[in-house]
Structure 1
Amino acid sequence: MDVIINGFLFGLLLCVLIGPVFFALIQNSIEKGFWSGFFMAIGIALSDSFYIVVTYLGISQFVENPKFNMWLGGVGGVIMLIFGVIYLFKPVPKKGLKQLHQEDTKWFQQIVKGFLLNGINPFVLLFWLGIISKVTLDFEYNNNQAITFFVVLIATVFLVDVLKSYFATKLSQIVTPRFMKIMNRVVGIALLLFSLRLFNFVLVAYGIELF
C-alpha cells in the first residue's frame, strides 16, 4: 500500500510541473479538441515509460555495489537540487493560452507528437534518473515494488493529463501567472527536500547523518 501511495503522490508531483509539455497538452486540446489531447497524453506516457525502463534497467544491475550507490545518491541529489533551484526561480510567461478552432484528430500523429515533445527534452531523462535514485536508495524498493511504483505513477500522470485535456478550456483560464508561480515554488521546494534525502544517504555512508 505504501508503494501505491508513493507512486500516486509522485505522479501528482509530476502533474503540476509547469513545463513545455504541460502547455503543449492544454494548447493542443484547446485547438484540436479532447481526443487530440488524449492521444498526445498517450505519447507522453509512452515516452516516460521508455525512459523509466532504460534508466532503471541500466541502474538495477549495479545496486548491490555500495560505491555505485554512493555515486547514484550524489548524482541523484545534484539533479534534484538543480531542478529544485530551476523551479524556485523559473520565470513565468505573461501570455496566456489562446482558444482557437478545432481540427480533425489524427491519433497517430498526436501520439508521436507527445512522445517526441517529451522525449527529446534531455531534462526528462535527467529527472527520471533522479526519481529512480530516490526509489532505489531512499525507498529501497525491490524490482516488483519498483514496477508497481512506476505503473501507479505513470497511470496517475496519464489520467491527470486526460483530465487536463477534458478541462482544457477552463484550465486555460485558471493557469494564470500567479498560479504558475505558486506551483513552481511548491515543486521547487519538494525537489530540494528530495535532494537533501539523497545527500543524506551519501553522508551516512561516511558516518555523517543530517536527519
Structure 2
Amino acid sequence: MEIVSYAVLGLLIVVSPGPDFILVLKNSLCSGRKAGLMTGIGIGLGICIHVSYSILGISHILSHNEAIFSLVKYAGSAYLFYLGLSGLLNSKLTIDIKNEKPVNSSTKKCFAQGFLCNALNPKTMLFFLSVFSQLVSPESENNLMFVLMCGLYITSLHIIWFCFLAFLVTSIKAFGTFQQFSHIINQACGMGLVIFGVMLFTSN
C-alpha cells in the first residue's frame, strides 16, 4: 500500500499546474516542438538533483536549516521572475509549426531553463523533503535499489508528462487554435511565471 501511495502522490505532483507546466507551454508555443521537448527533458532530469540530495542525506540538513532552504527558495523565486519577465518582453509568436523553425530560444537554452526551473522549484523540493526522504531515512527498511527505482519513476513521469504536453500544444490542429490567441497566451504565461515567483518570494 505504501508503494501505491507514493505512486499516486508522485503522479499528482507531476500533473498539478505550476511553473514547469507554464514553462513547457511557453517554450513550445514560442520556439516549437523540439524546444518544448527539450524543456520537458530538462525538467525531468532536474528531478535527479532532488533524488541525489535525498539519497546523500542532505535532505535532513535542508529540512532543519531554514537559512539554506530560504536561499534556495529565493533563488528559485528570482529565476521564475526572470523567466516570466523575459516571456513578457518577448511574447510575440512567430513559429512556423509546419517547418519547425524555432525563434528566440535554442533547444539547449530551453533544456537549461527546464532543468533549473525544476531544480529550484520548492514545490518539488518539499515533496522530496517531506515524502521521498522517508524512503531513505535510517528507520526505513528500503534498500538503495528500491529508492533509485522510485526516483526513476518520478523522473520518468515528469519527462513523459511534459513531453506529451509539448506534443499536444504543437500539433497542427491545436496550434491553429493557440495561434489565434498567441500574444495573449504568451503574455499570460509570462505573467504566470512572474506571479509564481512573487508568491514564492513572499511565502513562509
TM-score by length of 1: 0.60
Please list, as runs of the form range in 1=range in 2, the aligned pairs for 1:51-200 lying within 5 A after superposition: 51-53=46-48, 55-60=49-54, 61=56, 62-65=58-61, 69-86=65-82, 89-90=85-86, 91-93=88-90, 95-99=92-96, 102=99, 114=107, 116-119=108-111, 121=112, 123-131=113-121, 132-137=124-129, 139-142=130-133, 148-166=153-171, 167-176=174-183, 178-197=184-203, 200=204
Distance in 2, Cα, partners of 1:148 & 1:56: 13
Aligned letter for 1:163? L
Q: Alpha carbons of 1:101 and 1:93: their partners in 2 closer, same or farther (altered >3 Å)?
A: same
1:25-68 CA deviation, whole Å, 9 max, x = no partner? 2xxxxxxxxxxx3x665544433333332x23442211123587
State whether residues 63 and 69 of structure 2, in contact with CA within 8 Å, keep that contact through their aligned partners in structure 1: no
Give the root-mean-square deviation of aligned CA atoms. Answer: 3.5
Distance in 1, Cα, partners of 2:63 & 2:36: 38
Distance in 2, Cα, partners of 1:81 & 1:44: 19
Q: Alpha carbons of 1:191 and 1:169: their partners in 2 closer, same or farther (altered >3 Å)?
A: same
Distance in 2, Cα, partners of 1:101 & 1:7: 29
Shift of 1:8: 0.8
Q: Alpha carbons of 1:101 and 1:13: their partners in 2 closer, same or farther (altered >3 Å)?
A: closer
Distance in 2, Cα, partners of 1:67 & 1:134: 9
State whether residues 73 and 133 of structure 1, in contact with CA within 8 Å, keep that contact through their aligned partners in structure 2: no
Instruction: Return 5+ residue gaps in structure 1 as ranges.
Output: 26-36, 104-112, 201-211
Query: Which residue does 1:50 correspond to in 2?
Result: 45
Aligned letter for 2:89? V
Distance in 1, Cα, partners of 2:78 & 2:19: 16
- Residue identity (%): 8
TM-score by length of 2: 0.61
